[in-house]
C-alpha cells in the first residue's frame, strides 16, 4: 500500500530535510519529495510537527519489559524484548546473550533461527561472551567464561541466522579463529578484555570491526600503553558501541570519543536489562540480584550490570544533558549502527530503496508513532 508522510521535519539518517514528504510503498521507501509535490490519491499521514526519523537500531539489548534473554532463550523471549523496546522507538535490534552455559548458547542460536522468519524488528543476535577475559568479566559470571575452540567457532557459524555479532577478547582468541569467524560472515566485536593496543590491532587485521561498549570492561588508554580503548579511538576501521546513560561513561569521555571518531564511528547501544522499557526494579542475573537505582543497575558488590535505559534515552541524554545536536545523536542511533552491522543498504536511512521503518518523534524526542516495514505499531 502506497503512503505519504509529511508535516514533520525529516531526518534521513544523516541530515535534516525541511519541507519534505516521504513516499513509501509497503516495506520500501520510494522517495523524498517537496511537500507541495507529494502524490495524491494515496494514504496521507499529516504528522503535525515533530521529527520523522529512521527507526532506531540497537545492537545490544540483553532484556527489557521484565524479560532477560539468558533466562528466556526462546522465540517468545526474543519477541517480548523487541516488543518492549519497540514502544520506545527501537524498531530493529539484536537481542543479546551474555556469558552463559553451552546449552543456553545453543538454545539461543536455535531460537534466533526461528525468530528470523516472523518476529518484527529482529535483525539477529549479539553473543557477548563466553570467550572473554576473566580479568574484565564485569557482570558476566566467571564460572562460564572459557577459551574458544574451533568447534565453538563452527557451532556459531552453523547457528548464524541473519546478523550475528560476537563479542570476544582479542587476547584470549587467536587471530586465526577470528579470521575463520569473519570469513563466514560473523561480525566480531572486541570487548571485555585486558588486551594491549597491539593485540587489538592484530584482531582488527584478522577481520574484527567493532568494539563493545567503549571504555567499559576493557584496558584503558594510558600514554605508554594505549590498550583496547586507545586502539578503538585510533583505528578508523572500528565502529564502537557506547552506553550513554550518565553512569557507564563520563561526559568528558563521550566528548573524547566523538572528537576522535565522530558520529559515524560511535554507535549508541542501550545494553538494556529487564528493568528497561517498563520492567521491574530488580531482577535475578544468574543467581545474583541486580537492582535499579535511577537508570543504573548494580549487583550487590556495586558492579554495573547493564543499564535500565532504552536507545531513545541515550539519544535524549546526548541532546539534553551533553548539548549534542539532535541530528548527530540520532545518526548514532540509526545510520551508524546500521553501518556497524553492515545492513546500511536497507536500514538506518530514509532513502529510496531502503526499509520504510520509521519513528515519529516529538520536538523533545518522545515517541508519537512507529512503523516497521510500512506497518504501524503505534
Are 333 and 315 in contact, with CB atoms under 8 Å apart?
A: yes
Q: Is 117 a catalytic residue?
A: no
Q: Parallel, antiparallel, or unpaired for β 63-64 and 375-376? A: unpaired
Burial per residue of 259-274, b for 16 or more beta-carbon CB atoms within 10 angstroms, e otherwise: eebebbbbbbbbbbbb
Are 343 and 122 in contact, with CB atoms under 8 Å apart?
A: no
The 10 Å Cβ neighbour count of residue 346 is 14
Cα(31)–Cα(77) distance, integer angstroms: 36
Residue found by looking up cell 533466562 in the block: 71
Cα(151)–Cα(285) distance, integer angstroms: 27
Distance set, CA 26 to CA 39, 44, 219, 376 (Å): 15, 14, 46, 11
Cα(378)–Cα(368) distance, integer angstroms: 7
User: Which of the residues 271, 313, 327, 344 is marked catalytic?
Assistant: 271
The 10 Å Cβ neighbour count of residue 225 is 12
Are 14 and 264 in contact, with CB atoms under 8 Å apart?
A: no
Are 175 and 206 in contact, with CB atoms under 8 Å apart?
A: yes
Region label for 50, one of left (φ > 0), alpha (ψ between -120 and 50) or beta (otherwise): left
CA torsion, ordered 88, 106, 165, 349, to nearest 10 deg: -40
Are 351 and 333 in contact, with CB atoms under 8 Å apart?
A: no
Active site residues: 271
Amino acid at each position: 500500500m502506497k503512503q505519504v508522510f509529511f508535516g514533520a521535519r525529516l531526518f534521513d539518517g544523516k541530515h535534516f530535510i525541511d519541507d519534505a514528504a516521504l513516499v513509501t510503498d509497503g516495506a520500501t521507501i520510494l522517495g523524498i519529495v517537496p511537500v507541495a509535490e507529494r502524490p495524491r490519491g494515496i494514504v496521507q499521514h499529516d504528522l503535525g510537527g515533530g521529527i520523522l526519523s529512521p527507526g532506531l537500531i540497537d545492537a545490544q539489548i540483553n532484556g527489557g519489559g521484565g524479560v532477560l534473554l539468558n533466562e528466556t532463550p526462546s522465540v517468545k523471549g526474543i519477541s517480548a524484548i523487541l516488543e518492549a523496546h519497540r514502544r520506545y522507538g527501537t524498531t530493529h535490534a539484536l537481542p543479546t546473550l551474555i556469558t552463559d552455559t553451552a546449552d543456553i548458547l545453543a538454545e539461543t542460536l536455535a531460537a534466533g533461527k526461528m525468530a528470523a522468519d516472523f518476529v518484527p524488528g529482529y535483525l539477529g543476535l549479539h553473543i557477548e561472551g563466553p570467550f572473554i577475559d576473566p580479568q574484565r568479566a564485569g557482570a558476566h559470571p566467571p564460572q562460564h567464561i572459557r577459551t574458544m575452540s574451533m568447534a565453538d567457532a563452527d557451532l556459531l557459524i552453523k547457528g548464524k541466522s541473519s546478523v550475528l555479532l560476537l563479542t570476544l577478547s582479542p587476547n584470549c582468541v587467536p587471530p586465526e579463529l577470528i579470521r575463520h569467524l569473519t570469513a563466514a560472515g560473523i561480525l566480531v566485536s572486541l570487548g571485555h578484555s585486558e588486551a594491549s593496543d597491539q593485540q587489538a590491532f592484530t584482531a582488527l587485521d584478522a577481520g574484527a570491526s567493532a568494539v563493545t561498549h567503549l571504555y567499559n570492561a576493557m584496558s584503558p588508554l594510558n600514554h605508554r600503553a594505549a590498550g583496547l580503548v586507545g586502539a578503538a579511538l585510533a583505528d578508523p576501521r572500528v565502529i564502537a558501541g557506547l552506553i550513554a546513560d550518565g553512569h557507564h561513561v563520563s561526559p568528558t569521555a563521550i566528548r573524547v570519543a566523538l572528537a576522535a571518531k565522530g558520529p559515524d564511528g560511535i554507535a549508541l547501544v542501550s545494553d538494556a536489562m529487564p528493568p528497561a522499557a517498563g520492567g521491574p526494579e530488580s531482577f535475578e542475573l544468574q543467581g545474583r540480584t541486580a537492582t535499579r537505582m535511577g537508570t543504573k543497575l548494580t549487583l550487590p558488590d556495586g558492579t554495573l550490570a547493564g543499564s535500565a535505559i532504552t536507545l531513545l534515552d541515550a539519544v535524549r541524554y546526548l541532546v539534553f544533558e551533553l548539548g549534542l545536536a539532535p541530528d548527530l545523536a540520532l545518526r548514532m542511533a540509526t545510520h551508524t549502527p546500521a553501518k556497524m552491522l553492515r545492513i546500511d543498504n536497507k536500514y538506518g536511512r530514509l532513502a529510496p530503496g531502503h526499509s520504510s521503518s520509521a519513528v515519529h518523534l516529538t520536538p523533545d524526542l518522545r515517541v508519537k508513532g512507529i512503523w516497521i516495514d510500512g506497518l504501524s505499531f503505534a
